Amino acid sequence: MKIASYQHGRATVVAPREAIVENDCADVQRSVLEAIANGASQIVVDLGEVPFIDSAGLELLCELQKTCADSGAHMKITSVDEMCREILRITDLAHQFQTFESVEEAVRSST
């Protein structure tokens, strides 16, 4: 899976470039865990180029949210397209995540 990982202000941005499905979850997990290991206190998962998230991907996002919280980091999700937003709504997971329209907005937020 193609994943961009970069610093934006005080946040580490992890930006998958494809659908987050079972076969690719380990790559996304590795990117977020690497950011935590490198001391990131704010992690932004940019879903701007993610057209779909399957059940394994949803489970992974929930696990990563907990892992970040347990390590003292804050995880935020940005740029959720209409399909992924609907998936989060239907599965009743939308309230589990702090979501923002853009990486810039997530980085500017206080938590």
Q: Number of structural domains, the chain? A: 1
The pLDDT tens digits for 63-88 are 999 999 999 999 999 999 999 999 99
Q: Residue 74, Cβ neighbours under 10 Å: how many? A: 18
The pLDDT tens digits for 87-109 are 999 999 999 999 999 999 999 98
Q: What is the CATH number of the domain that holds 98?
A: 3.30.750.24
Using alpha carbons, select from 2, 34, 32, 31 the residue that is nearest to residue 19. 2
The pLDDT tens digits for 22-48 are 999 999 999 999 999 999 999 999 999
Can you give the residue range of the structural domain that contains 79? 3-108
Distance CA 13, CA 106 (A): 10
